[in-house]
Amino acid sequence: MKKPFESEERTGLALQSLYEKYGYQPYKMRKFEEYDLYAGNKSFLISENVLTFTDPGGKLMALKPDVTLSVVRSCRQGEEKKICYGEKVYRPGRDGSFKEITQVGVENVGKIDLYAVCEVLSLALSSLLFIAGDARLCISDTRLFSFFADKATSNAALREELKNAFTAKNREEILSFAKRGCDGRMLDRLAALSSLDGAPCEVFPSLYKLSKDRAYVAAVKELQTLAEVLDSPAVFIDASVTGDLDYYGGVIFRGYIPGVGESVLSGGQYDPLMRKMGKNQSALGFAVCLDSLPPAAPAKYDADLLILYGEDSDPGTVLREVKKETARGKTVYAARTAPAGFTAKSVLDLKAKED
């Protein structure tokens, strides 16, 4: 079911309001961080290019290209918190020039159990369905790829190349790694795994057939539980969804809407990143990139109601009318005369009433 896209601002406010209803506390971050935060984690960023400047004290600073790294740095050891945010980040666009990008999202830091994962995925799904009624949330678990890849090769560089082929669902390239010393039987499993993409009822029987190993089966069962709890035709299992395994471990997901070729929502569990930054705790979150959304349809009217008042109108009376109508959910424009070209669904002429 298609629905008109809301404006970027309205979408951001609506989503943050949704997250706050689940106990996520609004979180405000600085626009910049010390550059070393990003220099040491460039592979986690979408682009390695970061805008920098030197502050009056001689310290190299960076305009924030990412929210998650700032959140992790701000966490105290052992701290548990649920936060939501609406932030600007600064990244190169497709043309190479830097752009200001608006993101909204949530981060759950602390003890991540199965309910916490379900809650975050549910919020991700609700976010997508608010944006577009026929959205698609694709879920996987990094442990599925890692289980077979770790058995295929112990070479970290080869495993990274293999992951790229796996993410691209390139069966022939995956199998070609046998010529480079990787275990052919495991490559067969990886090639089969990379192609598993569809409705949960279609995918899980094939997932279970790939291995009877206890650890692998446990990961598949957890993924199946998540899909069953979400219980939505918008939820798909796509085993090829992965991320940087130095940062992500566990559930990982991407969100798509019609008319946009790339994901508009991305998230996952990032315990390895927490450990890398010296935090012995779990964390899970996602971000919606509002700049990826199609432009909202032009409004048919400038306001639902135009209230016209006279020079001698009582301001209290005018304000009461405005409050009454806005309380009903209407947008109201009150003025002595309407601006040139202004349109409204209806007009309330208080001057005529007073005459």
Percent of the chain with pLDDT over 90: 62
pLDDT digits (tens, 9 = 90+) for 310-340: 988 899 999 999 999 999 988 999 999 989 9
More confident residue, 51 or 265: 265
pLDDT digits (tens, 9 = 90+) for 32-56: 777 777 777 766 666 677 778 788 8
The partner residues of 235 in beta bridges, in order of sequence, read: 137
- Can you tell me the mean pLDDT for 97-121? 92
pLDDT at 65: 78
pLDDT at 168 over 50: yes
- Can you tell me the mean pLDDT for 253-266? 92
Render 292-347 in DSSP notation, one character per residue: GSPPPPPPS-SEEEEEE--TT--HHHHHHHHHHHHHTT--EEEESSPPTT--EEEE
pLDDT at 1 over 50: no
pLDDT at 70: 84
- Can you tell me the mean pLDDT for 232-237? 97
CB 191 within 8 A of CB 171: yes
3-state helix, strand, coil in the chain (%, to 5): 40, 25, 35
pLDDT at 268 over 70: yes
Rounded CA-CA distance 137/129 in Å is 9
Q: Which of the four pLDDT bands, split at 50, 70 and 90, describes residue 307?
A: very high
pLDDT digits (tens, 9 = 90+) for 117-136: 999 999 999 999 999 888 99
Rounded CA-CA distance 50/91 in Å is 7
Reported pTM = 0.81
- Can you tell me the mean pLDDT for 245-274? 92
pLDDT at 292 over 90: no
Per-residue tokens: 237: 């299992």
- Can you tell me the mean pLDDT for 153-159? 94
Render 84-103 in DSSP notation, one character per residue: EEEEEEEEE-TTS-EEEEEE
pLDDT at 270: 93
pLDDT at 350 over 90: no
Percent of the chain with pLDDT over 70: 93
Q: Could you give the residue ranges of the DSSP H alpha helices within 183-298?
A: 184-194, 200-209, 214-230, 271-276
Per-residue tokens: 119: 């809650």
pLDDT at 2: 43
Lowest mean pLDDT among 135-144, 202-211, 239-248: 239-248
